[in-house]
Each structure stands twice: as C-alpha cells, then as structure tokens.
Structure 1
Amino acid sequence: MFKPKKYIIEVETPHHGGMKEKEIKKHGLKPSEVIDFSASLNPYGPPKVLMEEIWKTKKEDIQYYPESDSLQLKKKISTKNNLKPENVIVTAGMSELIDLVAQTYVKEGTSVVIPEHTYGEYEPSSKLNGAEIKKVEMPEYKIEVEKIKEKIDKNSIIYLCNPNNPTGDLLTLQEIKQIMDKTNKTNSLLIIDEAYHDFLENPPNHKELIDRNNDIIIMRTYTKAYNIPGIRVGYGLSNKKHINYLMKTKIPWNIGNIPQRVIKTLNSQKASKFMKKTRKKLIKNKKHLKKQIESMGLETTNSQANFITINIGNASKQRKKLLKHGLIVRDCSSFGMPQHIRIAVRKKTENQKLIEALKKTT
C-alpha cells in the first residue's frame, strides 16, 4: 500500500472542545438541552448586524468565484487596524493560518518553541512539516519570558497564545518586546495567537511591532468574539514580506463570497458597539463566577480571557459528572493539565446552573 510521509503516521490528532453529538445522546440528551461551557465563545453573539447581512445573500454570491485574495475584506481589516492591505492575509479560520505558517516556514529540523500548556494545533502542524518541537516549562501554569528566551536558537519559530489557552495568562507588550529582542538576534520568527484579544479591556498593542525589519506574524479570528464558528474566517497581520510568502502557500478561493461579504460587517461601528457592550457584561459575569468558584475552595489560574480554568482534581471524571447535568466543560488533559477543567464565561443564569452543579459534584 502506498504510504504517506512518516510525519502523518506519527502525529496525533489534537483534541478540541465543543459538543460531541454521540456523547450527548449516550446520556439521553439533545443538543438543545445542553449548555456548552467547553467552547470559549461570546454567548451574546452572533451580532444582529451580521445576521442581517446573511439574509441579504443573492444568487450572484453563489454563481461567481470569489476574490482569491479577499481584497475588499482585507481593506476593511487593514483600515480597522491602522495598517495597509499588504499587511493582511485572510484565511479560513485561524486553523488555516497556523497550517500556512508551518507549510511556509517549517523545514526538516526547524526548532519550534511552544509553551507546554497551550493550544493544541501548533505542534501537529509543525511536526507534519518536519519540525523539532521544544516545549517550554510553565511554572505554576504561567508563561515566563526568560524560559521562552532560553529555548530560542538560531532560525527558530516561536508560538505564543496571548492570552494563553487554556491558562488565560497574558504577556504584556514589554514582555513581548523582550522576547523579540532574542528573536531578532537569532533570525527567528515570532507567531502571536490573539484568538481572545477582543475580550480584553486593554489589550497589548502588538501591531506596533509590525515593520519591515521585525519577523512577527499576529493571528486573529472572528470566531470567539462574535460566536460564529460556522463561518470560518481568520486573518494574519505582518509586514509585506511575510504576507507575500504566506499568500504563495495559500490555496486559491479559500474564502467564499458570502463569508467575505458578511465578515465585512464585523469591521463596522455597529460591531464595535456590540463587542464593547458584551465585553462589559462578560467581565462582570466572570468576576461573579470566579468569586463563587473560589468560595467553594477551588483554585483557578489567573485567566485574563473569557474563560476560567479550575483545578478540579480529576478533569475527566468531573466532565462526565457535569454532563449528566446537561453541562459540557473542557477537560484540560489534552493540554497536559489532567487536574483542570476550563469553563467559558456565559450568561448569568447559565453560569449559576454550573455553580449549582459543581456544588453537587465536587
């Protein structure tokens, strides 16, 4: 039998949160009866402005090939971020962008530096292209700048999720600059994953690091902030040089006409108002939820994102117990944290159901 390259056989498929229909049915439940705390999405989305645009879909949106480089959407994104269209690449979710980075830059033996407890897609995409993975220890589940710098060799690629998933800790702009001092000296490439950027009140402005001399790519997605995982659109910000390299790797027509059109509405003033309003609600809900969890004697990580990660003792068992109550949480075993569960901050009434279930099951 004709076999794939050896990396395909060796790589493990990463685990993700979200509802598993087979598992839900096993407990005699329907998806509509379950509250999903495992996917860290904005429970107040999708915004009305996006839904209205979806209903404007015409036959022509389906009949014709889309812009291969998503130019009109690029213009909207670049304007919102005070950059030029040449500084933007639009991808089918952040997952495609992670894959593009690996295809474009990872060679046999490339050193890829990844924190030991972080998002699971960086490692397999790098391994598939022959990378040598270097895991960075996270004492007390925190990313430490010096430990990152120690692992950076010449021509390395460094992945940082900021705020980090699943711990939620956040590196400041000054800390990112310290890491960039090392990447610049070693001719290395820094990748910053900002999937949860929109949930921060005062996010570090990494855009100022994008110039012609800095080797940095910032990855973002609309999925989390606007609760639209069914519309696969993400984007990358970088200098013209790196965007051109990534565009050569990207497949043509990766984003259809309909997603390109409706996502443009999320770069509008109406969408900004939606995000500001819901961010305020989620910060308030999180503060209340965290206080209740810790009053039960449970430890949490210092999460700055829209989720809370809890030391529950045995994550797998606790997840099964909560599922019987119609609640899905994220077992963090796949992150190397088998004692922890991650819960998304949801609406106040939903959060209260989780608290009541935790009191019964812990």
Structure 2
Amino acid sequence: MSLPDHGANPKIFTKALGVAYKEGSIDFSVNTNPLGMSNYANLTQSDLKEAISAYPEPHAEHLTEALAKHLKVDKSRLLAGNGAAELIFHLAHLYQGKKVLLIEPAFSEYRDACEANGCEMESIVLEDPWKIDLRQLEGRLDEVDLMFLCAPNNPTGTTYEIEEIREILNLAAQHNTMVVIDEAFYDFQESKQTIIEEIQQCNHLIILRSMTKMYGIAGVRLGYMVASPSIIQQIRNLQPPWSVNGLAQRIGLNLLQDSSFINETAVYIKKERLRMKTELRKMDFCVSDSVVNFYLLSEKDKRDLRPLMIFLIEHKIIPRHTYSFNGLNGRYLRLAVKTKDENTILLSVLKKWRDQSC
C-alpha cells in the first residue's frame, strides 16, 4: 500500500506505513491554523438551518463580490471554488494536452491534476535551500503554456522575494507562458507578502488562495482564484453550479469580517516557529528557512528519515512524510507549527531520539 499524498489523515497514513496508530497522537502533518477555527466561522442556529436547507447561489455571487471588495480587485477577476484544489483541476482541464512546467518540490495536486488531463509535464527540481536560477528557468520556458509556482512553498515553507517573482513574470511574458502563483499560505507570513498588486497589468498571472488553512475550516472547502476576466470566465464555464456550498458561502462572508485573527495568528506563528528552529538546531537538526506555519526537518547528511518517522509515530507524533515530493524523497520530514505545549512535546521526543542515537 502506497503512502498517502497528503497529510492530515494520520490513521490512513500509519496503516499504509504498517505502524500501529496510537490514540492521542498529535498530528504534525496537518498545516491548518494551530490556534483553531476563527470564531466568525460559527453560525447561529437559524443561519445554519438556512445554509443547509436552501439552495446556495449558483456561483457564490455575494461571496465573490465581498472578496473582490476585500482584495480591492474587480469582481470580474475573481472566482470562488470548492477549495483551491478544485480550481487547480479546472486549470489543468483548461490546459489539457498543453506543456506545463512545475517548480518542485511542490503541492502534489498540480502534477496530479495536469497528468489527469493529459498535459505534457516538465519540471525544475530545486535543491536545498530551494532558490530559483532565473537563467535556468529562462532556458526551460520555450513552448511552456502554463507554469505553477508555490509561494510560499509547500512543503519547504520558504518563499521568494517579490522582485524575483516579478522577474519570473517578465520572463514568462516573453515566452507567452501563463504563471500560476499559489499563495495558499501567504497570510501566515507576518509580512503578508503577495504579488496580487500585479494582477491588473499581468494578464498572464493567476493567483490561487485558500481560506481553509488560516481560518481552520478545512472541512468546509473554500478557496478562490484571481486572474484576468478572460481566464476567470473560461474557468467559470468549466465549474458546475453550486460548486461552493451554502455553508461555505455563509461562513466565507462571515470570515471577511474577522480583522484581527490573521494578524494574531501570524505573530504567534513567527514567534513559535523561531523558537522551534532555535531548539532544533541546538539538537543538530537542519531546519528550512520557513516563513509560514510549517517547516522541513532533516539531518545534515540528508539521510532517509524513515527510522525517525517511525520513532515519532511510536511516540504519538505524526509527521508528514516527503516521499511524494520530487527533490525531497524521504530525506526530510514536514512538521507543522502547533500550539506551544504540542511543540514542546515534539522537542522532548526528538531529544529522546538524539539521546538514544548517541
């Protein structure tokens, strides 16, 4: 049985690995908000009843308008979806049979969606510390129709400077390549770095975002796309009506009123991530220079971490394996930034690992 391509399902993961799941395990493979769900996601009994019993708007018109106003873009440039994953699959369908370039390691849905739609796949696999060589990129853009870039990156947690992304967009424009920037984790950055201001003048730019991770509503499934009106209309033509369900639409509207939750989360994440990095490096682990709510852990010699992965599971810690990420190949573990108490438990288990290895 192959290992799952996603985190957040620890019982499925441990079963595939052939290791017993222990009740009370802490799931460090899930990368949603460690502070929990925004209070604005709670619906009153009457709102909940209406959201469940009534047909939702076919294309989430009110949510689209509210998101556009919140982002200061025209509503013709925005499309809500049943999570960002739905929009990735629609994009792959729009470019079916075309040449697609992935900057990897990256979120597995890009490749899965494109391969399912018969795309011709190209890949640039970056090595630690995962920096893009613009000269190498320029040499690979010939005849590439679509390129995916995850920024901040999942699984490394690292990101690129805005000027780097602008240079990438300029190169892509010269080759008539559409660029998808996946900003699913942008709001976990204290800086809130984003390329969205370029959307007005870059018709070859598509931005994907998720609302499920920051607001702790992964089960609701809600994301959106910002792009040129032409791309938005083409994707909308592929999207079935009622793609965004009534609960997601109602909760999404509420969440846009929560002005403090994102900033509070980002401040906490930065403080706790830096604490973890300091403590882990004291134990002689390598830690990626993440800017978000997860990071990669590795040994200096980049050995396969399966033994450590199993040790963690046996001690009630569920990591995210990296065998499914091109360029990582099991030599890293992805770990979420959790609550302070949970992170401290992880540190104690890793210290046990170090102590027994000495």
Q: TM-score, normalised by structure 2?
A: 0.91
State how far apart, in whole Å, the 2-side matches of 1:329 and 1:116 are.
20
CA contact (8 A) 1:145 1:179 kept: no
Q: Deviations over 1:224-275 (max 9, x none)?
A: 111211110100011211111110111111111121001111111xx22011
Matching residue within 334, 337, 348 for 1:356: 348
Check 1:54–1:316 CA distance in 2 against 1; reply closer, same or farther (3 A cut).
farther
Whether the 8 Å contact between 2:3 and 2:13 is mirrored in structure 1 is: no
Look up the match of 2:39. Answer: 48
Letter of the 1:341 partner, please give it. Answer: L
Counterpart amino acid of residue 342 in structure 1: R
Kindly state the Cα deviation for residue 112 of structure 1 after the two structures are TM-superposed: 0.9
Compared CA separation, residues 297 and 353, structure 1 to 2 (3 A): same
Unaligned runs of 5+ in 1: 1-11
- The CA distance in 1 between the partners of 2:45 and 2:341, in whole Å, is 30
Does 1:129 find its partner at 2:120? no
Q: Which residue of 2 aligns with 1:196?
A: 185
2:233 paired with 1:244: yes
Residues 184/83 of structure 1: CA separation in 2 closer, same or farther (3 Å cut):
same
1:285-304 matches, cutoff 5 A: 285-304=272-291
In 2, distance between residues paired with 1:233 and 1:131? Answer: 26
Q: Distance in 1 between matches of 2:277 and 2:201?
A: 42
Query: SS of the residue aligned with 2:338?
Result: coil
Q: Which residue is equivalent to 1:142?
A: 130
Specify the SS of the correspondent of 1:115: strand
- The aligned runs of 1:159-170 (5 Å cut-off) are 159-170=148-159
Q: Indicate the residue corresponding to 1:184 in structure 2.
A: 173
1:190 deviation in Å? 0.3
Match of 1:324 among 314, 320, 332: 314
State the secondary structure of the residue aligned to 1:154: coil
For the 8 Å contact 1:219–1:236, the answer to whether it is kept is yes
Give the secondary-structure state (helix, strand or coil) at the position aligned to 2:224. strand
How far did 1:197 drift?
Answer: 0.5
Amino acid in structure 1 at the alignment position of 2:31:
S
Letter aligned with residue 225 of structure 1 = M
Query: Does structure 2 conserve the Cα–Cα contact (< 8 Å) formed by 1:193 and 1:219?
Result: yes
CA-atom RMSD, angstroms? 1.9
Query: Matches of 2:348 and 2:8 in 1, distance apart?
Result: 21
Q: Which amino acid aligns with 1:295?
A: K
**Which of structure 1's runs of 4+ aligned residues deviate more than 6 A?**
none
Q: 2:30 matched to which residue of 1?
A: 39
State the alpha-carbon separation in 2 of the partners of residues 58 and 124 from structure 1.
34
8 A contact 2:149–2:181 mirrored in 1: yes
- The match for 1:283 among 259, 270, 274 is 270
Q: What is the CA–CA distance in structure 2 between the aligned matches of 1:205 and 1:199, rounded to whole Å?
A: 11
Cα 1:134–1:273, aligned 2, differ >3 Å: closer, same or farther? same
2: CA distance, partners of 1:40 / 1:152: 32
Q: How many residues align?
A: 344
TM-score, normalization by structure 1: 0.90
Letter in 1 for 2:22: L
Indicate yes or no: 2:103 matched with 1:115: yes
Q: What's the counterpart of residue 79 of structure 1?
A: 69
Structure 2: segments with no counterpart, 5+ residues: none
1:340 matched to 2:332? The reply is yes
Matched residue type, 1:296: M
> Following the alignment from structure 2 to structure 1, what is the Cα–Cα distance between the partners of residues 167 and 67?
28
Q: Determine if contact 1:321/1:361 at 8 Å carries over to the other structure.
A: yes
Would the aligned equivalents of 2:115 and 2:121 in 1 still touch at CA under 8 Å? Answer: yes
Query: Matches of 1:14 and 1:188 in 2, distance apart?
Result: 31
Instruction: Tell me which moved more, 288-297 or 223-232.
Output: 223-232
Q: Name the CA distance, whole Å, in 2 between partners of 1:219 and 1:304.
A: 18
Q: Specify the code of the residue in structure 1 equivalent to 2:291.
A: Q
